[in-house]
Structure formats: C-alpha cells, structure tokens
Structure 1
Amino acid sequence: MIAEGMGKKLRFVAFTSICQLVFIILFASLGEYSPEADPTKHHRLISTLNLNAYPMFQDVHVMMFIGFGFLMTFLKKYGFGAVGLNFLISAFTIQWATIFHGLFLLEGHDTVELDILTLLNSDFTAAAVLISFGAVLGKFSPLQLLFMALVEVVLKFANEYILLEHFHISDVGGSIIVHIFGAYFGLAVARTAFNPNTTKAAEEKASSMYHSDLFAMIGSIFLWLFWPSFNSAIAVTPDGQLRAIINTYYSLAACTVLTFIVSSLVHKQGKFNMVHIQNAALAGGVAIGTTADLMLNGWGALLIGSLAGIVSTMGFEYLQPLLERIKLHDTCGVHNLHGVPGILAGIIGIIAAGVAKESDYGNSLYIIYPSRAPVEGILKSNLTNEDYLIEPGSGRSASSQALYQLAAIFVTLGIAILGGVVTGLILRLPFWDEPDENDKFDDNGDWILEDDIPDVVIKGKIVALLDSR
C-alpha cells in the first residue's frame, strides 16, 4: 500500500512538474507584455484601456476561484477536494490557456501578448474546464483532472477558432463557446470513463448535508452577483456592454424567482430543494449569455430568465434521474445548469440574429455581427461623431447569420462530445491513478484530515501550549 501511494505521488508530481516547466519555457520564448504594460513602448503613466477592464476581470476571477470552488462543496465528504482541486485546476488552466490561445492568434507575430484581455480569455477557458470538472467531481484523481484540462483547452480553442474566425457568430457571454462546450465535454468524459463497479457505499457519499449545502450557497451567491461582469466583459461596444450588464441582471432575478416557484411545485409538500436553489437560480446567466448585448429590453431579459429557471429546475428534478439510468453520473448536474440552458441560449441567439436589423442597432449591428457588414465596409458610423471604420464584411443576410448561429451549436456539440469520448477512453487506462472505490467522493484519499493526526500529537501540542502559559 505504501509503495502504491508513493507511485501515485510520484506520477502526479512528475506530470505536474513537467507541465509547469513547459509553461515557463513557453512564456519565456513567446510571452511579451502588451504596449500598455511595456515602458519601452508606452509612455503614459496609466494605461486606461487595460485598467478600466480590470474591475470586470476581478469579478470573473472571483467567479472561478470562489464561485465555482464553493458551489462544488455540497458533497458531504469532499469539501477539500472540491475547493482545493478547483484551485489547482484553475491555476493550471490559466497558464496553459494563455499560451495556447496566443498561438491561435499569432498570425505572423512572434509573441503572445500579455494584457487584461489575455487574462480574461484565460479565465473564460478555466470556466469551461471547471464546468467539466463538475461533471466528474469526486470520481477522478488530481492527475486525471489535470490531463483532462490539458486536452480540453486545446479542443476548446479549436472550437472557438472555428466559431469566431470562420462562422463569425455572436456569443458575448460564452453560452455556446464556454457553457455548452464545457458541459458536454465533461458529460462525455463522465460517461466514457464510467466505472460499472462503483459501490453503493461510494454512491451514498455523493450526497450533501446541511452544512455542506450552506457552504455551496456561498459559491452560488458569488456567481450570481458577478455574472453580469462575465457576460459583458468582452462586449465590443460600450452600449453593448451596458446592455449585457442590465440584461444579465434582470435575467438572473427572474430566473431565481421561477426557480423557487417550480421547486415548490414539484415537491409534494411544496418545500424548496436546495439543489435547485444552488444551481438552477444561476441558469438565467447562462441562458442570456449569447444575446446579452442585444436589444432585448427589460421584458426580454425577464422572459429568458424565467424560461431558464423553469427548464433548469425541471432538469434537476426529472432529467437527472434519467441520465443516471443510462450510466451517466453527472455529479454537479452541469447538464441542467450549463448544458440545457446553454442550448436555450443558442436557440435564442438564432432567433435574435434572424430579426436583428440596422434600424435597431445602427452601424453597431456590423460590429456585433461582422459578416453582415457590406463588402466595402463603412467609413462613417452612427456610434460617434467622428470617422469610424467598420471593417468590410461579406454582406451576410440576417437569415444566413441565423443559420451560422445554428451550425455553431452542432459543431460545438460534435467537438465537445467526440473530444470527451476520446479523453474518457484515455483516462480509463490504469496509469492515471483512478481513485479506489472507497476514496471516491471522499477527501480521505488525497488530503490530510484530522483523523490522520494521532491523538498523542494533538494532546502533546495542548500540553505544550498549557506549559508555555
């Protein structure tokens, strides 16, 4: 047993150390501060462009490390694993995402630019990986999780490159690029790597208790509060960014109210289910993500949030048990919080793209949907009183844009599911240190717990403390 534990430790340390060394080498050879952060290229004392975006980056950063981390602490014996491994995966992913995303954007340049936008994109990628982590929470070793993150970052950016550079879709809040991809990649991994020998004792640990649910609500509230920043951070126009904040705010509010309503309706005694409140109340942020910066007005945002609350709560109540019957154990219910609401967001995005017209948006329509711009471009914009060049597009029609939005959903599902299946098959190989059945959904396998410290040590420390007084 000691030799097995030593081998497990060495494999994790070796893999993680090699990856970290490679990150350092890649940053050394490719990374470079943006002109705003480089004193040899920028002479103003304050870089307003980057610093103005920093508060939103902070919000998104808090979502990754506190929001996602504490939301997953609902498992009664896996709190350390949830918040601790969330910490590790996020720190690992943002480094790899910075380099790999930069490689996609080189296009003749020889460096990867480091600025606030780079940090934001890395956090968005971490969000997709953490969503996938939720599907396999408690079932994978740290080594398996880091390998899964390594692969997912590559596939996520490949999908993003297709959708943004070739399909030219609009998805400001990442409902397709982040939420659909992260959810179905994680679900495919979970199903492919499913262990039919999982014991009843292990399954019973995959549940919550009063205090663990209370901790999880901390994560839920942090996500709820900062979601407007997530959906608006990369909006391309100031008015679009403001709309994204407002629309997300009201969508979340309506979603929360409907979650409480439906949660009460589906229970025989009309009681609320904390699983619904922790998760489904957030679905409004996912469902409005694709169209967050569009002209939805207050009622549109409320309607989207209401629909999200209904479908997400119903998913947790009725769809979750059906998935388990086909041996798809989704620990955190990411299918109901990110998958289904993400598809709802994609459908709403199709409709919005099909009806969007210049009379509603002015020339900013061609910034939101670049391919709809005329082939010769536009020199004079209604956005300002100054000359403003809108890059030439392909003159795409509204209906054609809607079809590209539709295609984006299917391409994302295809890449995510196929990539997840292949990754899951690789993770079934024995050298990835899959936890023993007794250690699944349990911190005991990877963390030092109080029970591991002999009583004599504790008593000795108490005696020493008393003697010192």
Structure 2
Amino acid sequence: MTDVSTNMRLKLPVTCLILEIILIILFGALVQYDHGTDAKEWHNGSHGDYNNDFYYRYPSFQDVHVMIFIGFGFLMTFLHRYGFSSVGFNFLIAAFALQWATLMQGFFHGMHAGKIHIGVESMINADFCTGAVLISFGAVLGKTSPVQLLIMAMFEVTLFAVNEYIVLSALGAKDAGGSMTIHTFGAYFGLMVTRILYRPNLDKSKHRNCSVYHSDLFAMIGTLYLWMFWPSFNSAITAHGDDQHRTALNTYYSLAACTLSSYALSSLTAHDGKLDMVHIQNAALAGGVAAGTAGEMMLTPFGSMIVGFLAGIISVLGYKYLSPILEEKLKIQDTCGVHNLHGMPGVLGAIVGAITASFATKEIYGDGLADVFPDVASGEIQASYQGVRQAISLAVTLGIALLGGLIVGFILKLPVFGAPPDTICFEDSIYWEVPGEEAAHHDDQLTTVRTEESEKLNS
C-alpha cells in the first residue's frame, strides 16, 4: 500500500504535468481556429451567422460530450469499491485524450498550410476518439494505475487516428456511428491489452470484483444517459438533412428493439427467470453500437430493429456464456465485458454496413446516393465494391487494434508505471481519500492483506 501511494504521489502528478505542458506547446505551434470559428475569416466572408456549423453541430456535440463524461463514467461504477476510480479516472483519461486526439486527428484530416484547423466538428471527432479509449478502459478497469491509463490513452489515440485515416480516407469506407473505428477498435485493443496484462492471482481480489445494490443503481444511470443520447452519437458527423435524420431514426429503433431482446434473453438464460442487472446495463446498449456503420444508409426502420434485436441477443449470450470461456481458456480478464457490448455488436454493425452498402442503388437512394456513397453515385465503383471496401476496413481495424494492443500491453507491463498488486485490485483507497466508515473498512482490508503477505515472506 505504501509503495503504491508513493508511486501515485510522484508519478501521477509528474505524468499529468509533463503531458499537459507538451500539449500546450503543440497547440500553440500547430493549432488555430477554422474558417467558421476565426473572427476575421468569418466576418470577412459572405456567410450569415446562422450558417455557422456551430448551430448544426453543437447540440449533437453536447449529447456526445455527456455520453463520454457521464454515460461511460457512471456505466463503470458497478464495482462496489471502485466508484471513485471509475468516474474519476474516466474524467482524467477523457480530458487528456480529447486534447491529444485533436492533434492526432488533425495531422491526418485537418492540416492546412502547416496548421491544424479546429471547430465544433473537430471537437466531436475528438470525443469519438476518446470514446474508443474509454471502451478499452473498461477492459482493464480496476487492474491498472492512472499512469498506465494515461500512457495507454496516448498510444491508443495515435493508433486510432491512423486506423481512422486508413479506413475512412484511404479505403473510402463509411462508418458514421463508428461501429468499426470506435467500438470494434476500442474493444479489441482493450482486450489485447488486458490479455498481455493477465494477472494469474487476480482471484485474491475477487471479493472486490463484484457489485452491490447501490453500485449497480449508479451504473444504471450511465446506461440511461448512453441509451438516450446514442442517436445523437451516431448522427453527430453525418451530413445535414436526410442523412442525419435517418441515422438518428435507425439508431432509435435499433436501441428499442435491442432493449426488449436483452430483457428476454436475460430472463431466459437464468435458471429462475430473474433478470440480471449486468445484462440490462450493457446489452441494452448494443443496438446503438450495431447501428453505427449502416446508420446513415437506407437500412429502413424494419432493418434497424432486426439489427438491434440480434445485437441484444448476442450481447446477453456473450455475458452469460462467452466471457467465462475467454477468461478461463484465453486468459482475457475483461472487467466490464467490452467484448459483449462493443466488440461483437461492433463487428455485427460492420457486417451489416458491408451488406447494406452492397445494395446501394439509384433506385433506393435517389439523388441522396451522392451524399452517402459519392463514388458509387459517380459511377467510379459499383455498389458491390463498396461492400468489399467495408469488409476490408473491418479486417484492417481488427488487425491494427490487436497488434497495437499487443505492443502497448507489453509497454504497460513495465514496472515503472506502478500497477497495483493482484491482492489489492478494484480498490479505491489505493488512489483516493475515501471518507468515513468506508475508509476505515478499506484500511482494515489492506492491513489484513499486508499481514498475510508479510507472513508468507517470513515463512
């Protein structure tokens, strides 16, 4: 406990200060307002104020921002002694990642005359990238130090920007809601990191790796925020008008259908027919993940409901049957079950996107085909080839996520980053001042652990 506290006292503030100073210097040298934000450029042009992108995008940005800081933060508060860390480290990582993402995404997408131009759309994209990092955070929750999390975020944001550029720009794939670039990437990156960071003696902290009544209730707050705002998340950066409208509708109905199938499967898979709060907290959101890639396509409400219905089923089955197998056979200790909420539904969404894109025709889309699939509309490629692009993009995303997670996992194993020992994982009092009776209870638990370790060493 003393060693961990010393590491925190020295390493966390030094890491935070150095990273922020570097960010400030880079922003000063490379970042400037875009044409819709810069006072001189905007007012010297012929634009009316209400044509500013801010009025179209900022409401969506607000919704996405709430999802990142409240939705993801509270979703991970289910651990009964890790609530401070779940919300607090979510806050820390997100605040760092959105700054770093602005730079990394700017290098690939927003550089003009040697400068990164930023506006409300770059804010949304940075939050999207941050979402992928927070998904990975869910896989390693409770087993990593805040310094490890910051280092993971630094590398993951960089790889996310590379993958996003390859998939969306080089390959020309469509992924409005990020089924591939956000959810699949974040999940499989995190799963590979947690595999490399495997803890053979994690069962010594098993009594903390569980929920209590009030912690599950807090986590449900995160679920409801995410569920309500997911249509905004998927539609935030699609084109104005019918594309954005369609994406929100498709997500809306996919989530609704997913919720019913999640409740049904949760009850069906229980021997006594009782609902499992873990399933409801997580699987009910899988419809939003699965509707991401095809959200702006002519998926139809009927198709969206089928996608959501299937996503809820595979997510619940994953929590019930697949997660124990992954931990036992593959040594993947996935704390939040990100494979079931983001991984498998993300892959499902990517496959649905590839199939839907393959059937894009002028008869179905009319003049709107040019908005969704400009290369198909211009006759440059056939719709079937767009479907192939989508499938290749999924394979590329999986490859970069797994290889990147492998490398970053080995980096995070270095002792300099101060990972907590197996015996005191999922414990807030390592990193936080815990008030009142909880603090005394935690100190008693830690004293017992230290005594047991001392006795083993002496023997």
Structure 2 length as normaliser, TM-score? Answer: 0.92
Distance in 2 (CA, whole Å) between partners of 1:110 and 1:75 is 46
Q: Summarize the Cα distance change of 1:432–1:276 in structure 2 as closer, same or farther, 3 Å threshold.
A: same
The aligned residue for residue 273 of structure 1 is 276
Match of 1:423 among 408, 419, 424: 408
The aligned residue for residue 422 of structure 2 is 437
The aligned residue for residue 383 of structure 1 is none
- Residues 300-329 of structure 1, C-alpha deviations (whole Å, 9 max, x = no match): 111111111111111111111111112101
Q: Summarize the Cα distance change of 1:4–1:179 in structure 2 as closer, same or farther, 3 Å threshold.
A: closer
Distance in 1 (CA, whole Å) between partners of 2:436 and 2:415 is 29
1:56 Cα deviation after fit? 0.6
Alpha carbons 1:235, 1:241 under 8 Å: kept: yes
Q: Summarize the Cα distance change of 1:265–1:39 in structure 2 as closer, same or farther, 3 Å threshold.
A: same
The aligned residue for residue 160 of structure 2 is 156
1:113 Cα deviation after fit? 1.3
Alpha carbons 1:67, 1:222 under 8 Å: kept: yes
Letter in 2 for 1:247: N
Q: Tell me the percent identity.
A: 49
Distance in 1 (CA, whole Å) between partners of 2:263 and 2:290 is 17
The aligned residue for residue 42 of structure 1 is 42
1:47 Cα deviation after fit? 5.5
1:365 Cα deviation after fit? 1.6
**1:97 pairs with 2:101:** yes
**1:247 pairs with 2:232:** no
Distance in 1 (CA, whole Å) between partners of 2:270 and 2:439 is 45
Alpha carbons 2:109, 2:165 under 8 Å: kept: no
Alpha carbons 2:362, 2:377 under 8 Å: kept: no
Letter in 2 for 1:246: L
Secondary structure of the 1:73 match is coil
**1:303 pairs with 2:326:** no
Q: How does 1:227-266 map to 2 (within 5 A)?
A: 227-266=230-269
Alpha carbons 2:132, 2:186 under 8 Å: kept: yes
The aligned residue for residue 177 of structure 1 is 181
1:374 Cα deviation after fit? 2.6
Distance in 2 (CA, whole Å) between partners of 1:429 and 1:453 is 32
Distance in 1 (CA, whole Å) between partners of 2:3 and 2:387 is 58
The aligned residue for residue 296 of structure 2 is 293
Q: How does 1:388-467 map to 2 (within 5 A)?
A: 395-451=380-436
Distance in 1 (CA, whole Å) between partners of 2:55 and 2:8 is 43
- Residues 194-251 of structure 1, C-alpha deviations (whole Å, 9 max, x = no match): 12232x2312211111110000000000000000000111112410110011111111
Distance in 2 (CA, whole Å) between partners of 1:426 and 1:9 is 22
- Residue-pair matches, total: 435
The aligned residue for residue 86 of structure 2 is 82
Distance in 1 (CA, whole Å) between partners of 2:111 and 2:32 is 15
Distance in 2 (CA, whole Å) between partners of 1:133 and 1:168 is 29
Q: Aligned-pair RMSD on alpha carbons? A: 1.7
Q: Summarize the Cα distance change of 1:295–1:7 in structure 2 as closer, same or farther, 3 Å threshold.
A: closer
Q: Summarize the Cα distance change of 1:433–1:49 in structure 2 as closer, same or farther, 3 Å threshold.
A: same
**1:362 pairs with 2:366:** yes
Alpha carbons 1:36, 1:47 under 8 Å: kept: no
Match of 2:126 among 122, 126, 145: 122
Q: Summarize the Cα distance change of 1:4–1:343 in structure 2 as closer, same or farther, 3 Å threshold.
A: closer
Q: Summarize the Cα distance change of 1:399–1:203 in structure 2 as closer, same or farther, 3 Å threshold.
A: same
Alpha carbons 2:139, 2:334 under 8 Å: kept: yes
The aligned residue for residue 381 of structure 1 is none
Match of 1:344 among 341, 345, 348: 348
Gaps of 5+ in 2: 441-459
Alpha carbons 1:259, 1:310 under 8 Å: kept: yes
Distance in 1 (CA, whole Å) between partners of 2:207 and 2:267 is 25
Secondary structure of the 2:264 match is helix
Distance in 1 (CA, whole Å) between partners of 2:140 and 2:358 is 37
Match of 1:194 among 187, 194, 198: 198
Alpha carbons 1:237, 1:364 under 8 Å: kept: no
**1:29 pairs with 2:29:** yes
Kindly name which structure, 1 or 2, has the bigger radius of gyration based on alpha carbons: 1
Letter in 2 for 1:216: A
Q: Summarize the Cα distance change of 1:33–1:211 in structure 2 as closer, same or farther, 3 Å threshold.
A: same
Letter in 1 for 2:38: D
Farther off after superposition, 33-42 or 148-157: 33-42
Alpha carbons 2:5, 2:430 under 8 Å: kept: no
**1:204 pairs with 2:207:** yes
The aligned residue for residue 322 of structure 1 is 325
1:453 Cα deviation after fit? 10
Alpha carbons 1:169, 1:369 under 8 Å: kept: no
Distance in 2 (CA, whole Å) between partners of 1:267 and 1:45 is 57
1:7 Cα deviation after fit? 4.1
Structure 1 length as normaliser, TM-score? Answer: 0.90
Distance in 2 (CA, whole Å) between partners of 1:373 and 1:4 is 59
Distance in 2 (CA, whole Å) between partners of 1:367 and 1:421 is 37
Alpha carbons 1:98, 1:119 under 8 Å: kept: yes
Secondary structure of the 1:32 match is strand
Gaps of 5+ in 1: 376-394, 456-469
1:34 Cα deviation after fit? 1.7
Secondary structure of the 1:112 match is strand
Q: Summarize the Cα distance change of 1:93–1:452 in structure 2 as closer, same or farther, 3 Å threshold.
A: farther
The aligned residue for residue 72 of structure 2 is 68
Secondary structure of the 2:318 match is helix
**1:133 pairs with 2:134:** no
